[in-house]
Amino acid sequence: MVKSWDMAVERAQERLAAAPALRAVTDEEAREFARWDLAACAEGELGEPVDPAAIGPAEEARLRARLGESGREWPGGELYRRRYWLLGEGGPGGATGPGGTQSRGTRPVGAVAVDNWTKGSGQLAVSSLYLRPDARNRGLAAAALDRVYRAATAEGLSGYRLEADWAWPQAVRYYLRRGLWVRSWKHAIGLTRMPQLPPYRVREEHGRLVLMVADRPSGAPSGEVWTPLLAAGREGRWLRLDETAAYRQADGWVHDYARSTLALHLALAGRPLVRGPQWWAEAWRWSDGGEPEGLAHRIEQYERRRAAADDRTAAQPEVARPEVELPAPAPAPRPGAVAP
């Protein structure tokens, strides 16, 4: 156990600053980083892909005004979080990065920020992650998250956590593919990777979604054994959620997060989230996380807020019903979300 979370975070940040594929943002590049952050938000929330290098003062003011609170600029610079460029291979003759700097044969193709304090049970918090469109689908975002995880666990921290806004299901899908567990949905969708949580997978079997975890029981052949924990099927228009003996015997972290994680997979697959009227009547009890009805309740609230912020035309989106799914995917994500 670390003596000071603050010291552990500082050492983890030093590890990230020394990583070969990352470069700390200088004071002179702070405004440039802010524009990359803004480009991520504009693409994710407004569906407007924007070249960060092309954002001038007038365009920046326009985008921040349209985005409102989600487009605000982070105050205080390094006081709150450390910012890093994600580096990719440069072209012939070297590449020019933000601010016109040269980067020794590499160029910034993305950005990531990690908070200067822990959240939850001693976890690093990833507060921004973005890649330029021409750098996506090359594993760079996954590599950056792996580096954050290694830096955290090397200093005794419990992995990392991040949040994905309700408006960016594409980002949520990406994080679930990366194997992150769902810890909450109070204000945004909170996801985590922790040493205490084993790898998991969700797959369809006989019309049901089954959540399984990797296990390496004593005496078993080499390799992972996948143990089912929860199975979710349909009974008419309602959800049927079945527990296995392995789930009932699971430790606290797995037991707490397995239901939330499966619930989000169900929502993204358009499956029912509510087990019946009596469950729906008490859905508010799990509005921070836990039972799938709590996720349905939060989706309903999100749909109502989105409808109120719309053009107020006759075509308003429906609120969540017992069978609910997340809104249609936005083109890309933003802080705490990644454009992979």
Place of tokens 């030093």: 14
What is the average per-residue pLDDT within 328-337?
33
| Greater model confidence, 31 or 218 | 31
Structure confidence by residue, pLDDT tens digits, 159-194: 999 998 887 888 899 999 999 999 999 989 999 999
> Helix (H, G, I), strand (E, B), or coil: what is residue 295?
helix
pLDDT band at 91 (very low <50, low <70, confident <90, very high): very low
Confidence of residue 217 (pLDDT cuts 50, 70, 90): low
**pLDDT (tens digit per residue) in 100-149:** 444 444 789 999 999 999 988 899 999 889 999 889 899 999 999 999 99
Mean pLDDT, all residues of the chain: 83
What confidence score (pLDDT) does residue 168 get?
80
Instruction: Give whole-number Cα distances, 183 to 32, 110, 120, 138, 211, in Å.
Output: 32, 26, 10, 27, 15
pTM of the model: 0.83
Q: How confident is the model at residue 221 (pLDDT cuts 50, 70, 90)?
A: low
Q: What is the largest CA-CA distance in the chain?
A: 67
Least confident of 1-5, 66-70, 74-78: 1-5
Give CA–CA dist 169/206, Å, rounded: 26
